[in-house]
Amino acid sequence: MRGGHRAALSVVLLIGGPHVPAAGVSPLEFTISAPARGRVGASVSIVLRLHNASDRPIEAHFLGRTIVFDIVAAREDGSVAWRRLGAKVTPSILQIRTLAPDETLEWRDAWRPREPGRYRLQGVLPSDEPDPRRTPWVDVTVTP
């Protein structure tokens, strides 16, 4: 168990009906879900979702034969407590996927906090773009 966590990965495709995003909003929505509370040494389940919220197919670029994703757990002071990828070398293979209207890609992993405190979690999807796609931050409070 490297980095004090247990990896549990899966990719799921979900397809539903189309809808149109508001003007000026990206049709690809990247979100993160995690419980608001966790305990030291216990798994905190984290789910990342990339959703095509438009009524048309959207091309998305990813790295790796299996899509590479990262999750960052930061302390209140901004220092990084854990990164899913850590110091791993990631493949630079470009994968181009077309997401159908209302299609969602989903990635899962778990983090095992080592210390109590308040943390912020963020998902990251590297691609061939200069800046990776990032989720908004979510807060997690870890108790002993």
- Render pLDDT for 3-32 as a digit per residue (tens, 0 to 9): 444 333 333 333 333 444 444 457 899 999
**Residue 21 corresponds to which tokens in the numbers above?**
């995003």
Superfamily of domain 2-143: Intracellular proteinase inhibitor BsuPI (2.60.40.2360)
Partners of residue 109 on adjacent β-strands:
46
Left, alpha or beta for 3 (phi > 0: left; psi -120 to 50: alpha)? left
Residue length of the chain? 144
Of 90 and 131, the one with more pLDDT = 131
As a whole number of angstroms, the distance between CA 109 and CA 70 comes to 10
CB 140 within 8 A of CB 35: yes
Is the full-model pTM beyond 0.85? no
- Render pLDDT for 53-107 as a digit per residue (tens, 0 to 9): 999 999 999 998 899 999 999 999 999 999 999 877 777 789 999 999 999 999 9
Q: What is the pLDDT of residue 25?
A: 56
Dihedral sign for Cα atoms in the order 97, 91, 14, 140: negative
Domain parsing of the chain, residue ranges = 2-143
